[in-house]
Structure 1
Amino acid sequence: MRVLVAPDKFAGTLTAVEAAEAIAAGWRRHAPDDELDLAPMADGGPGFVDVLHAALGGELLVVTVEAVHGEQVPATILRVGDTAYLESAQSCGLHLLESAGGGAELASTSGVGELLLAAVDGGATKVVIGLGGSGTNDGGGGLLAELGATTDGVIDAGPGCMDMVTTVDLAPARERVAGIELVMASDVDNPLTGLFGATKTYGPQKGIGEDRIAAVDAMLERFAVATDRRISLEKGAGAAGGLGFALLCLGARREPGIELVTTSVRLAERARAADLVITGEGAFDFSSRSGKVPYGVASVAEQALRPCVALAGQVLVGSREMRALGIESAYSLVDLVGEERAFGDPAGSLAALAERVARTWSR
């Protein structure tokens, strides 16, 4: 039997590569003769570069850039031919916001600008930037400032410092990336501001209190008016706390992150060669439909007329919702081994779950 193993990361415990290896190890314990094809996945958030490197090869370049509050962190650029792949979360991820002990209102995307410049200076003619898992909400002001945009206020120290901004000149930043094809890998279609904007939708998970939502959104609105109000209304402008807005201002086009990765790893071709497709993530719930890996993998499996099952830390949907997502069955790590063991030994626990699932699905 041929099995395609295509999980996302299990946030906080396993990378996508580690999750795929754990599932394979457990499956082989029950069905050692099955042929396993490992295809770790990502949607543009954490793990984006690692997954593409595993699939595409290429050269990894480690650079040191600014994190959300000015501290220095390592980040990786993947170079495949003339194309460079970046992961914004490496310099402005939510985990960095938490470790820095500061808030999103003073968090900057300057480090993403540094990464972009390093890729361009390294000779890339196409740069793909994975958006997702960000801890910033600055409308990409830090990135624009790093590329040379000028202003009469401050745009590189988080939205909390944007209250005096009235003009932003994008010409120097646009000139810096002239001739470079920019692609933002994101499934988020929120605008920058408003009821469905970056602050209202994602601000609370970044620590912006309910009493501050309106004020922070107003600051981003001021920034948008000073920069390009029309672009701020476009789909995807609110991605990664407004990094999408900054990239759209520079002429980037948006591609769904999961589609970009599935194409890069030739998932459709590999699914057609399999008898069963396995996916997974930390928490499998109905939000997985919004551009998440399990829904993307299940869609590919459905087109290939192959069954798809999911292994997850927790399964938070019923059978009807599960099938609406294209998943035949979903299995919970916590239900099998308990929460303590699931977090204490995530790889071993996931392997145990995969071994149990193999008893049902392997021939």
Structure 2
Amino acid sequence: MTRVVIAPDSFKGTASAADVAAAIARGWHSVRADDELIERPMADGGEGTLDAFEVAVPGARRMPLTVRAPIASPGSAPVATHWLLLPDGTGVVELAATSGITLLDRLAPLDAHTAGYGEALGAALDAGVRRLLLAVGGSASTDGGAGALAALGARFFDDDGRVVPLGGGGLARLARVDLAGLRPLPAGGAVILGDVTNPLLGAQGAAAVFGPQKGADASTVAVLDGNLARLAALVPGVAAETPGAGAAGGTGFGLLAWGAEMGGGAALVARAVGLDRDLAGAGLVVTGEGRFDGQSEAGKAPSEVARLAVSAGVPVALIAGSITAEPRGFATSVALTGLAGGADAAMTNPLRWLEAAGAELARERWSDARS
């Protein structure tokens, strides 16, 4: 009998981390029924972070609330969501669950905003949290966190003293920033659970790297980058070059301006779920994410799981929807696109192909991973 730890991230927009882990486990057990499987859903600050903490921390409580939609347009319904209160008084607030890209019916690169995230942060402050963990992946917008800060009491004005519209496009009118009314951090501070180290501006910045995922073409990327530069010039205390300032469409920048500290999302989640303890005596670790690409090594969940596994002397396997970069550090890997015959088929029924991937690892790849 072998102990196998299954610690994947979510497959964004198609399956939660818990569902991914369960599907891989079903596939594995269909081939090796006697093995001990430990399911540890992971996250790196993006979609699924609340779920990972809820599973890992006994006594964690969902705190329901309703926030405004991530785009202000006719017919946009408010978002029914929640944040998580941990027994020690820490609040975990997830941007993907409040102002995330999966909440949009259509992409809106200039108009999407983070105001709903700010409203959720305000609700956590109203509840008296001692500390905040700020999960910021999966955003719909490129507004530099201005929407979130506005919901927390900051004000953003144009030349005529009028409040600028929400969204990255509205920042083109920005002339003055007033942070005097910004609500203070809780006594224990706030830590940003980020999965990227990108700066705010430039070729590696929020607009250039992440804007296309949010519907921005080349000309829109240029507009958004210029608007973020305008914001950065008017907000004191944070350099646009700060690693992680470009996270979540620049929300990292806004949260740093609020006084939050940057942290490693995947590392903090791994610590919370006790992944180190699970690795003791394991024969294999299986991790994964929807798309393994050039950004995956920059602090995302699979790279953190692999780092911990290698340190513990345990081989690690990767399952991903697609694999477009060399999966260094993994003993073996499986892409769902290869099993399903293409990306469309893999995305249409991901749990089926995740089961197939788990079975394939157990049946055909396990001997390779051990050798």
Give TM-score, length-normalised by structure 2.
Answer: 0.90
1:227 corresponds in structure 2 to 235
Aligned with 1:253 (options 258, 261, 267): 261
What does 1:87-166 correspond to in 2, within 5 Å?
87-97=94-104, 99=105, 101=106, 103-153=108-158, 154-155=163-164, 157-166=166-175
Classify the secondary structure of the residue corresponding to 1:171.
coil
Does the CA contact (< 8 Å) of 1:142 and 1:156 recur in 2?
Answer: no
Deviation at 1:341, TM superposition (A): 4.6
Q: In the alignment, which of 328, 331, 334 is matched to residue 328 of structure 1?
A: 331
1:63 aligns with 2:70: no
Report SS of the residue matched to 1:41: coil
Report the Cα distance in structure 2 between the residues aligned to 1:342 and 1:53, rounded to whole angstroms.
Answer: 28
Shift of 1:156: 5.2
Q: What RMSD, in angstroms, separates the aligned Cα atoms of the two structures?
A: 1.9
Structure 1 residues 214-250: Cα deviation after superposition (integer angstroms, max 9, x where no partner): 2322222122222226433322111111111111011
Confirm or deny: 8 A CA contact 2:196 2:300 kept in the other structure.
no
CA 1:219–1:316: 2 relative to 1, 3 Å: closer
Pair 1:223–1:342, CA change in 2 (3 A): closer
Q: Deviations over 1:21-78 (max 9, x none)?
A: 0111111111111111110111111111111111113101121101211331122211
Q: 1:315 to 1:164 in 2, by over 3 A?
A: closer
In structure 1, the gaps of 5 or more residues are none
The whole-number CA distance in structure 2 between the counterparts of 1:287 and 1:237 is 16
* 8 Å CA contact retained: 1:145, 1:156: no
What letter is aligned with 1:347? L
Aligned-pair identity in percent equals: 39
Pair 326,161 (structure 1): closer, same or farther in 2 beyond 3 Å: same
Q: Which residues of 2 match residues 181-200 of structure 1 at below 5 A?
A: 181-200=189-208
> Which residue does the alignment assign to 1:73?
79
Are 2:84 and 1:83 aligned? no
State the 4+ residue runs in structure 1 displaced beyond 6 angstroms: none
Structure-2 separation of matches of 1:343 and 1:235:
32
> Which piece of structure 1 moves more, 177-186 or 23-32?
177-186
In 1, the alpha carbon distance for the partners of 2:94 and 2:165 equals 19
Query: Are the counterparts in 2 of residues 231 and 248 from structure 1 also a CA contact under 8 Å?
Result: no
Q: 1:290/1:237 Cα in 2 relative to 1: closer, same or farther (>3 Å)?
A: same
Give the number of the structure whose residues are more often helix, by fraction.
Answer: 1
Contact 1:279 1:311 in 2 (8 A): yes
Q: Indicate the SS of the match to 1:105.
A: coil
Classify 1:38/1:94 alpha carbon distance in 2 versus 1 (closer, same or farther; 3 Å): same
- Residues 117 and 345 of structure 1: CA distance in aligned 2, closer, same or farther (over 3 Å): same
Distance change in 2, residues 1:194/1:44 (3 Å)? same
Q: Per-residue CA shift, 1:121-160, capped at 9, x if unaligned?
A: 1121111111111111111111111111123333551122
Number of residue pairs matched by the alignment: 355
The structural deviation recorded for 1:211 is 1.6
When residues 314 and 196 of structure 1 are mapped into structure 2, their CA distance, relative to the original with a 3 A threshold, is closer
Deviations 1:97-122 (A, max 9, x none): 4x1x3522111111011000111111
1:342 aligns with 2:346: yes
Query: Residues 167 and 285 of structure 1: is their aligned pair in 2 closer, same or farther, counting only changes over 3 Å?
Result: closer
Correspondence 1:27-38 to 2 at 5 A? 27-38=28-39
For the Cα contact (< 8 Å) 1:143–1:156, is it kept in 2? no
Aligned mates of 2:128, 2:202 — CA distance in 1: 38
The offset of 1:178, in angstroms, is: 5.5
Distance 1:217 1:344, change over 3 A: closer
- How high is the TM-score relative to the length of structure 1? 0.92
Contact 2:199 / 2:240 at 8 angstroms: preserved in 1? Answer: yes
8 A contact 1:141–1:156 mirrored in 2: no
Query: Is the alpha carbon distance of 1:211 and 1:55 closer, same or farther for their aligned partners in structure 2, counting shifts above 3 Å?
Result: same
Look up the SS of the partner of 1:232 in the other structure. Answer: coil
User: 1:356: which partner in 2?
Assistant: 360
